[in-house]
């Protein structure tokens, strides 16, 4: 049988593409393993309802605990690097939110409601009755969800550059195509683990703008973990549905009766501070927004004492409310 020249070229091209794809999968798999080896878990694990969570508890036992919830793309090391020194005298629980860092996420659809339930399960397992919730960015939305669904477990809230208002913009294209057949595999198994590291620094610069990125930030907060497939998928799933999730809970924020202090950066280029912090605070019975001049989205790294002070204030308010008049 004689194969026509055009067909032969097509077969060769297809074979080369298949070979390149397989090699890409192999190199991508190796890159993900290297990331895991270079950024191992350094805290404790606990299983809640069949889901393993990675958490760290620091500070002074006996005080009312503080639960810190990091934002999208990151893990517990991100707020820990910023706030650990300022909160050294607090009883602090730092947790990798489900699906991020080294925490697992159950299969199937995921929502802030489900995340709130799992985190309440963590508090139950640690025998913590009530906490001051501290949430950064998307972690702020989760903190608000906990306050809505389990108000009795909350003493107060400190929201840092929180993502709270619905319709914050369309999901980034890469969060959408991540779930497309074939192309999603190409992105999550090859492109992201092999080339995504180059984007981490620019992403950090955008999050900190107009303030400087701390020295050795990416390594210290284990940012490359985002490039692992399962973590990338979990984060992309959250972000492609962010408007839907916020639309479901934003109309209920007025129900929260706890004192809530919102810290927002005047220079935040990731979120519009007034739309998220200012408007939300105005709708709450005890909401207060503090705009920090010159601060960006990751303001907790440059304003840790302001956050520590806000935690003390909401705790004192809760204690006064609980005291007999």
The string of pLDDT tens digits covering residues 79-88 is 999 999 999 9
Structural domain that includes position 274: 44-172+243-319
Q: Report the pLDDT value the prediction gives residue 253, as an integer from 0 to 100.
A: 98
Q: How far apart are CA 156 and CA 256, in angstroms?
A: 10
The CATH code of the domain that includes 58 is 3.40.50.1820
- How many domains does the structure of the chain reveal? 1
H or E element in which residue 69 lies: strand 65-69
| Residue 73 covered by a domain | yes
- How far apart (Å, rounded) are the C-alpha atoms in residues 164 and 248? 11
The answer to whether position 183 is within a domain reads no
The answer to whether residue 315 sits within a structural domain is yes
Residue 292 lies in a domain: yes
Query: Averaged over 69-88, what is the pLDDT?
Result: 98
Q: Average of pLDDT values for 247-266?
A: 98
* Separation of alpha carbons 39 and 222, rounded Å: 6
Does pTM surpass 0.85? yes
Percentage of residues in the chain with pLDDT exceeding 90?
Answer: 75
Q: Which residue has the higher pLDDT, 295 or 321?
A: 295
Instruction: Establish if 189 belongs to a structural domain.
Output: no
Residue 9 falls within a domain, yes or no? Answer: no
Q: Indicate whether 17 belongs to any domain.
A: no
User: Is 177 part of any domain?
Assistant: no
Question: Each residue of 166-199: b (16+ CB within 10 Å) or e?
Answer: eebeebeebbeebeeeeeebbbbbbbbbbebbee
The pLDDT of residue 169? 67
Q: What is the mean pLDDT of residues 68-74?
A: 98
CA gap 108, 209 in Å, rounded: 35
């Amino acid at each position: 049988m004689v194969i026509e020249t055009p067909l032969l070229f097509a077969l060769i091209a297809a074979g080369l593409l298949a070979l390149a794809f397989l090699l890409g999968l192999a190199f991508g798999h190796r890159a993900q393993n290297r990331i895991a080896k270079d950024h191992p878990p350094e805290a404790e694990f606990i299983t809640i309802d069949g889901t393993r969570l990675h958490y760290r508890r620091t500070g002074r036992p006996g005080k009312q605990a503080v639960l810190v919830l990091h934002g999208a793309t990151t893990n517990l090391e991100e707020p820990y690097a910023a706030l650990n020194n300022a909160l050294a005298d607090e009883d602090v629980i730092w947790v990798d939110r489900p699906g991020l860092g080294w925490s697992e996420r159950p299969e199937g659809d995921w929502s802030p409601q489900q995340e709130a339930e799992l985190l309440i399960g963590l508090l139950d397992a640690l025998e913590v009755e009530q906490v001051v919730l501290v949430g950064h960015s998307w972690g702020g939305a989760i903190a608000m969800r906990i306050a809505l669904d389990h108000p009795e477990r909350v003493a107060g809230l400190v929201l840092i550059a929180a993502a709270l208002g619905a319709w914050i913009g369309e999901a980034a294209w890469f969060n959408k195509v991540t779930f497309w057949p074939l192309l999603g595999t190409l992105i999550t198994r090859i492109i992201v683990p092999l080339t995504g590291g180059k984007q981490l620094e620019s992403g950090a610069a955008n999050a900190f703008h107009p303030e400087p990125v701390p020295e050795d930030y990416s390594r210290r907060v284990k940012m490359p973990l985002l490039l692992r497939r399962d973590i990338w998928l979990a984060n992309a799933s959250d972000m492609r549905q962010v408007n839907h999730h916020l639309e479901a809970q934003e109309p209920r924020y007025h129900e929260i009766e706890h004192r809530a202090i919102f810290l927002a950066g005047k220079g935040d280029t990731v979120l519009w501070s007034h739309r998220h912090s200012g408007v939300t605070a105005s709708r709450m019975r005890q909401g207060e927004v503090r705009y920090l001049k010159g601060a960006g989205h990751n303001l907790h790294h440059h304003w840790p004492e302001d956050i520590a002070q806000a935690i003390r204030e909401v705790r004192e308010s809760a204690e006064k409310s609980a005291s007999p008049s």
